[in-house]
Structure 1
Amino acid sequence: MSAIAGILVTAMVTPALAVTGIAANNSIGMFENLPSYIKPDALAEKTNIYATKSDGSPVLLASVFEQNREEVGWDQISPFVKDAVIATEDPRFYTHGGVDIASTLRAAVGNAAGTSASGASTISMQYVRNILVQKAEAIQDPAERDAAYEEATRTSPDRKLKEIKLAIGLEKEFSKDDILLGYLNIAPFGGRVYGIQSAAQYYFGVNASDLTVAQAASLVATVNEPNGLRIDEAENIPDNQARRDKDVLPAMLKEHKITQAQYDEAIATPVTPNLVQPSTGCQTANPIAAGFFCDYVTHIVKNDPAFGADEETRWTNFKTGGYQIYTTLDFDLQNAAMSAMNNYVPKSYDFDLGASLVTVQPGTGKVLAMVQNKDFSDDPEVTATNAGASAINYGTDYEYGGSTGFQVGSTYKIFTLAEWLKTGHSLGDVINGNAGTLNLAQFQDSCTGGNGGTYSVKNDGGANPGNVTVMQATAQSVNLAFLRMAQKLDQCEIRKTAEAFGVHRADGGPLGENPADVLGTNEIAPLTMAAAFAAVANQGTYCSPIAIEKILDNQGNELPVPQSTCSQAVDPTIAAAMTTALQGVLAGGGTAGASNPNDGIPHFGKTGTTDSEKDTWFVGASTKLATAVWVGNVVGTVSIRNTSIAGNSGGNVRHYVWKQYMTDADGKYGGDAFPTASGTLVNGVQVQIPSLAGMTIDQAKAALTTAGFDFQDGGVIDSTQPANTVDSSSPTGTASKGSTITVYTSNGQLRTVPNLVGLSPDDAKKAITGAGIDASQIVIDGPSGGNAKVTSSNPAAGAPIRAGTDKLRVTTKAG
């Protein structure tokens, strides 16, 4: 009772003290020592994430919130709401000083008699309590948060005393209208719905400004017991309507806030909710395929210090800060990507099939599209039972909600190509493309010192194309040609070139630089590969990917966002030569002819297929867009190439997705011709190949080295040259300086058939044995005596014949 008496004394004298400044006596000393000022924090509001439509206007992708609240201004709230709150909760709101003396006295007497709850809370006092609750809920430490919440909500005289003091202080700092507005924006309306605007939208599907008398009264009735009177639960509707009809509407009529006619109409209107479920989280993204991009954006916020000191703070700020996040996502491209993906890749299949498409804009780093063959859901119960749903983003790094990446296969060859051109080689250089066993000790690595042992490699499909130009090797993706190119380079520098293009492992580990890595054994995210190819299209300038263009806080202030950083990965002349070679990949003889839109827009690209066809890729670009498509195993090793996917050859699905999507994308963005590569980088410096026939292998090697060529021993072949001397080379004539010239050594097993026509059989035998062909190899067809003459031979004159084994048939005729 002493505490309650203190409240009464305080309530009666404080308004006067607040106005006159008269000194308090000891009877209210305890009260005067309580804190008197509370500052409303920024309200927890939902964060909205937007893409951009074709007309440049924003379109909402998703909203994320802990409290579904949208703060609104005074003129955005129906007068019926304001009148209902005042009439029901605090009729003397505009005349008291934060505490209603009469109500407080009645409540105190009732409490003393045990017949009434403590009650008597004015709107200002309720606002104070809601502010304290919000402050408690914002505390990161769970124990501290629970203690603060308990302190703010417990029913006790001392809590009421503090509430009164703070309410009086609040009224000194803010106008009545500001207090009422703050109360309506902060008040809970059941569940995760906070504030009158979100309540109006959720429960009735209208804005707060458009609420009718009946709707406003129903929502104000909810404030008394938010979770017990919320009308999204059918069992609560009768109680809500009872409070509306017995308390709220009569109070409004009594206080002359509505007319009798309005009262009668509202009473006759049943409480009928029109629920509009709020969108929360990336699983509700629109379109649903944008859920993975949305999740990528949330991870950017979690990871960037610009949004808070640590991840937990950043995530809390994100869910409560009321951010308006305008992303780089192009709504048109996103829909086109989703259409292409849905047409060719099912969400679930006989094995764990995955697919991803990511587009990056050259020159800006903007991520314009990001889809995969799954629906986004971060609900473990959903992903555990639905193979078509996932929370893992196949397109991004692990740190940003993605997987640990996928081996990229031959798409990685572009970095060996770049290093090849940087070091003075050309696209016209000739390389041996045949399968073989390589000596790992011949691969230079200035970082690790290199390796020993051997490495046996085959080309895709077991092909042995022989000597090919680098241009041909790129178009046909010849493994052995690129490995032999790498033998002439520094593996460490190839890795550094890849890194200059922004390439890194998706799991955060360092890139490998073993010879096998030339063929794409590093696990990398599609976003990373798309950005790297965008750099090639951007004349060698790499721009790091960005997904956010602008963020506004809940006051409309622009916040700092991560910026794309651009740097020169290779010289523009090198990039021009790369695009020249990579355009051949989409030409008729290239490995990606099926990807070519053939729409008049120039494109370049590179295919990639990993061991056992576990992963298949196509990454390509125009001057305007770079797009990576991956189709493969999420888990397991099923051959994509040998699998039919939705009626199509699995190995071609990547091409079909890329072609359909880029055809649509080209229609919006277009594309220009790529810069022309210099003749030197395309053809190299042409040099005459020395004549090597008859030389020893050492002499041939020295001659080629002196001429500026690389020597490669082609092995021993059947030849008419003396054993252990050079028979021939490939190529012959001229080749670009630095080309590999393959030299073949004679085994001395072939002889040249002399011209026997017109000779007698005896003279023919002498000529044959004189040419080194054994007499036992001669077969005479026809007469051998008299005046017989040779009319022909098989093989013919000048043709080779193996000594000691092949037969030489000599045809004779009598003269």
Structure 2
Amino acid sequence: MHRGEPARPNVVQSVILFLLVSGLCGALVAGLALPFAGLAGVTTEKAHDTVQYLPQDLKTEPLAQKSQIFAADGSLIATLYQENRTPVTLKQISPLMLKAIIAIEDDRFYEHGALDAKGTLRALLRNQSQGSVQQGGSSITQQYVKLSLIAKARTPEEIQAATAETYERKVAELRYAIAVEKQYSKDEILNRYLNLAFFGDRSYGVEAASMHYFGVHASKLTLPQAALLAGLVKNPTGYNPTNNPKRAKDRRDVVLRRMQELNIISAKQARDAIRTPVLDPAKVRNVPNGCANSKYPFYCDYIVAKLKENRAFGKSKEDAENYIETAGLIVRTSLDPKVQKAAEASIKKHSKATDSAVAAITIVEPGTGLVKAMAQSRPYGSKKGQTSYNYNVEKSYPGGYGGFQNGSTMKAFTIAAAIQKGVPMTYRINSPQVLPLSGKKFSTCTGTTDDPDYTPKNSTKTIADPSMLDAAKASTNTYFLQLSQQIGLCPIATIASKLGMYDAQTMDPLEQVVSFTLGSAGLITPLMLSNAYATFAARGMYCKPQVITAVTTSKGKTVPTPGPSCRRALSPTVADGVNYVLQKVMEPDGTGGKLKFGKSDLAGKTGTIDSNKAVWFAGYSSKLAAASVVADASPPYDDLIGQTLNGKKMRDASGSGTAGPIWESAMQAALLGLPTSRFVAPDDKTIRGNVKDLPNLKGLPPAEAIAKLAQLGFKAQVAPAPVDSDAVAGTVAYTSPRQEDGAPEGAIVTLFLSNGSKAIPPTPPPTPPTGPITPPTIKPPPGFPTCGPWDPKYPNCRRR
């Protein structure tokens, strides 16, 4: 009960008053005074039926409140609402506001019940004299009932019924008002009314209105401020001080004079308040609504899309949207303003909004899936040079662009599959600049596939016989195509799928095509790729991308939401091996060598698609993973060369030189201040792989070499051209992989045959003498035996 509140009339008195008024209505309808029935369109019988079948209590909807989205550090990202409202208790409202609203709307509020009989009779007589409904005579309780019915209305018909200027509606309101007075105290009714009432400028409730017009809480309202708000509820649009300051002041002054008449304030207080300016425009605070007004509009849109997926908020996305905009939710997210700032600064440094090409980057935390930042070059909006597309996410989300082909960044999954299968990092494959693969069969999860016309080539210089480490450094296409053929596409596609890779346009699995390892299996987003690479950084632990970390109601109740979802996708040893290989990319002679910074271990991979329509760099430390892309996003898609980036025409486009600097700048700033981190070194078995020894085949004829390999479980093929060697021409010069490296079981061993160019010629026989040689005659001395040395065959040789 309000301080100084007199004893309340009981419910019986209210009912009696209600019946008296109903009886008066009946008398008027019968024609005692004026033709009321013709004016109001209602009969005594109809009014009686209306009262008889109305519910005994008023079921109200929860107050629509604004929901707020916050970053990880507690800063506000966005406010979502249908009605800008912040409910407060009666103690949180200035006593001056309570007195002002009662003075102007229902000065006998604490003295009467649901119905102010005097006011209602006065209104009825006035309306009869005017020939229409001119004066309501409604009590605050009746006004609360009306506002509640409007708030519950969902269809145009319900809204019309709740606002119709008819006696039938007034009678219904009276019945509901009696129920409300029975259910709630006067203070509770006044509090509910002040939280429900509309005060103009999309401000619902006294707290939101106070903050909007004056920049102060409702508890701090001064007399002229309270009088202004009290006057607004009658006509929030007509008396809006931001649009009609003079009308607003006139209405405010009416309230002040009424308060003086009722001796609530003194004449001096009224005069002083009337002299006060109605509003200080500099203090008016608008509450931006929706993601379009957010500092991070694309990230915000993605959050809202994820919220709408939660069936705890509604059976459909429409129901969820209505709930989100009215439930007063507090949404906590993973957005890290420091990391977001780093991403945005990098995008701004390396691109412009007016570029014909677009740039985008997503940064994710390994081991949690928390999406720390999303940034892109084109700003949010519908004007020229703006876009509503989010180039970082899938098409399944509103505004999601749906990705680009990701080029050689897919090689990381081939590396992972090879290491998982036991392929050594020293595994060598002869990798020519051009590789004829037309019609060559590649195994898939369901059979085989081939490309009838496919002759890929390397886009970088490479050694003729690279190892996996060499091929990763130089991004050797022909090596990884042959490696993917040897291990099969199914293991590669399976790992990619486990790491969250799928077609961002169709949501279907990536297509197992011959060029899978070169990134032509589907369209990929920066969010998907950065999160997949984060799995390597987390030693094989895959976590679904997470942007929402907690949701609570305005009263602090937790709303069930999907939490972290992590699972082991790769063994730690396989992930360690991938990290080791991709670290080599960041060495000075690697394609990412110029992007290395700081003391922490870094790993990454470049990517360029056909015709340079998109270029990528994806890389990570153990703390953060990011993927950046520069692409043509406007059909028909063209080569980036000749398009503008950072206001200049591109003369070259590459993962390392175009997308790489965006990744480098963003990651360098994002990792600033974090401790130095290292990857876990792979063990010897992972480096050497699960290999079998190869026999020494040098100098063997091809048929014999092939037979030996088959006996050991290897496949064999003969290189198309002979090589310089010291082996006999036509025999095996060497193999790939080399004998000393060994090869995984079932691997294809290439035999390189010698052309004999370095073979050592055989030693020629000695030159025979030109004529017979007569041995010199030697005459023995006297007495020397003429027989030769004793010979057992001639024991009786006679001596002379």
Q: Do both proteins adopt the same fold according to a TM-score greater than 0.5, normalized to the shorter chain?
A: yes
Structure with the bigger percentage of helix: 1
By how many angstroms is 1:316 displaced? 0.7
Structure with the bigger percentage of strand: 1
After TM superposition, the structure 1 = structure 2 runs for residues 302-341 of structure 1, keeping only pairs within 5 Å, are 302-341=308-347
Q: Is the 8 A contact 2:462 2:471 kept in 1?
A: no
By how many angstroms is 1:664 displaced? 1.8
Q: Is the 8 A contact 2:359 2:628 kept in 1?
A: yes
Looking at CA atoms only, which structure, 1 or 2, has the larger radius of gyration?
2
Q: Indicate the residue corresponding to 2:534 in structure 1.
A: 534
Q: Is the 8 A contact 1:345 1:653 kept in 2?
A: no
Q: Is the 8 A contact 1:98 1:122 kept in 2?
A: yes
Matched, 1:297 2:303: yes
After TM superposition, the structure 1 = structure 2 runs for residues 661-672 of structure 1, keeping only pairs within 5 Å, are 661-672=666-677
Q: Indicate the residue corresponding to 1:106 in structure 2.
A: 122
By how many angstroms is 1:33 displaced? 4.0
Q: Indicate the residue corresponding to 1:673 in structure 2.
A: 678
Identify if the C-alpha distance between structure 1 residues 639 and 671 changes in structure 2 by more than 3 Å, giving closer, same or farther: farther
Q: Is the 8 A contact 1:642 1:650 kept in 2?
A: no
By how many angstroms is 1:606 displaced? 1.4
Give the letter aligned to residue 248 of structure 1: V
Matched, 1:42 2:62: yes
**Structure 1: how far apart are the matches of 2:494 and 2:690?**
27
**Structure 1: how far apart are the matches of 2:212 and 2:22?**
51
SS in structure 2 of the partner of residue 558 of structure 1: coil
Q: Indicate the residue corresponding to 1:743 in structure 2.
A: 751
Q: Is the 8 A contact 2:694 2:743 kept in 1?
A: no
Q: Kindly, what percent of the aligned residue pairs are identical?
A: 32
Q: Indicate the residue corresponding to 1:80 in structure 2.
A: 96
By how many angstroms is 1:708 displaced? 6.3
**Structure 2: how far apart are the matches of 1:207 and 1:17?**
36
Q: Is the 8 A contact 2:61 2:148 kept in 1?
A: yes
Identify if the C-alpha distance between structure 1 residues 364 and 748 changes in structure 2 by more than 3 Å, giving closer, same or farther: closer
- Which of residues 366, 373, 379 is equivalent to 2:377? 373
Give the letter aligned to residue 151 of structure 1: A
Identify if the C-alpha distance between structure 1 residues 503 and 639 changes in structure 2 by more than 3 Å, giving closer, same or farther: same
**Structure 2: how far apart are the matches of 1:694 and 1:448?**
37
Gaps of 5+ in 1: 1-11, 140-144, 378-382, 764-815
Q: Is the 8 A contact 1:404 1:524 kept in 2?
A: yes
- Which of residues 443, 466, 469 is equivalent to 2:467? 469
After TM superposition, the structure 1 = structure 2 runs for residues 702-721 of structure 1, keeping only pairs within 5 Å, are 702-706=707-711, 711-717=716-722
Deviates more, 1:447-456 or 1:359-368: 447-456
**Structure 1: how far apart are the matches of 2:203 and 2:722?**
84
After TM superposition, the structure 1 = structure 2 runs for residues 771-782 of structure 1, keeping only pairs within 5 Å, are none
Deviations 1:5-44 (A, max 9, x none): xxxxxxx997516599999999895435433311331111
Q: Indicate the residue corresponding to 1:284 in structure 2.
A: 293
Q: Is the 8 A contact 1:76 1:209 kept in 2?
A: yes
User: 4+ runs of 1 displaced by more than 6 Å?
Assistant: 19-28, 748-756
By how many angstroms is 1:105 displaced? 0.7
After TM superposition, the structure 1 = structure 2 runs for residues 168-179 of structure 1, keeping only pairs within 5 Å, are 168-179=178-189
Matched, 1:239 2:247: yes
Identify if the C-alpha distance between structure 1 residues 591 and 712 changes in structure 2 by more than 3 Å, giving closer, same or farther: farther
Matched, 1:89 2:105: yes
**Structure 2: how far apart are the matches of 1:59 and 1:19?**
56
After TM superposition, the structure 1 = structure 2 runs for residues 122-521 of structure 1, keeping only pairs within 5 Å, are 122-136=139-153, 139=154, 145-233=155-243, 236-245=244-253, 247-274=254-281, 275-285=284-294, 288=295, 290-349=296-355, 351=356, 353-377=357-381, 383=382, 385-387=383-385, 389-401=386-398, 402-434=400-432, 435-438=434-437, 440-451=439-450, 453-461=452-460, 463-507=461-505, 508-521=507-520
Q: Is the 8 A contact 1:232 1:273 kept in 2?
A: no
Q: Indicate the residue corresponding to 2:628 in structure 1.
A: 629
Identify if the C-alpha distance between structure 1 residues 448 and 69 changes in structure 2 by more than 3 Å, giving closer, same or farther: farther
Q: Indicate the residue corresponding to 1:700 in structure 2.
A: 705
Q: Is the 8 A contact 1:717 1:746 kept in 2?
A: yes
Deviates more, 1:148-157 or 1:392-401: 392-401
Identify if the C-alpha distance between structure 1 residues 752 and 644 changes in structure 2 by more than 3 Å, giving closer, same or farther: farther
**Structure 2: how far apart are the matches of 1:303 and 1:685?**
45
Identify if the C-alpha distance between structure 1 residues 328 and 727 changes in structure 2 by more than 3 Å, giving closer, same or farther: closer
By how many angstroms is 1:298 displaced? 0.6
How many residue pairs were aligned?
Answer: 720
Identify if the C-alpha distance between structure 1 residues 416 and 410 changes in structure 2 by more than 3 Å, giving closer, same or farther: same
Q: Is the 8 A contact 2:291 2:300 kept in 1?
A: yes
Deviates more, 1:431-440 or 1:714-723: 714-723
After TM superposition, the structure 1 = structure 2 runs for residues 561-572 of structure 1, keeping only pairs within 5 Å, are 561-572=561-572
**Structure 1: how far apart are the matches of 2:438 and 2:700?**
26
Identify if the C-alpha distance between structure 1 residues 533 and 304 changes in structure 2 by more than 3 Å, giving closer, same or farther: same
Q: Indicate the residue corresponding to 1:684 in structure 2.
A: 689
Q: Is the 8 A contact 1:432 1:484 kept in 2?
A: no
Gaps of 5+ in 2: 1-8, 27-46, 771-800
SS in structure 1 of the partner of residue 627 of structure 2: strand
**Structure 2: how far apart are the matches of 1:277 and 1:672?**
45
After TM superposition, the structure 1 = structure 2 runs for residues 542-557 of structure 1, keeping only pairs within 5 Å, are 542-557=542-557
Identify if the C-alpha distance between structure 1 residues 482 and 718 changes in structure 2 by more than 3 Å, giving closer, same or farther: closer
Q: Is the 8 A contact 2:530 2:625 kept in 1?
A: yes
Identify if the C-alpha distance between structure 1 residues 122 and 665 changes in structure 2 by more than 3 Å, giving closer, same or farther: same
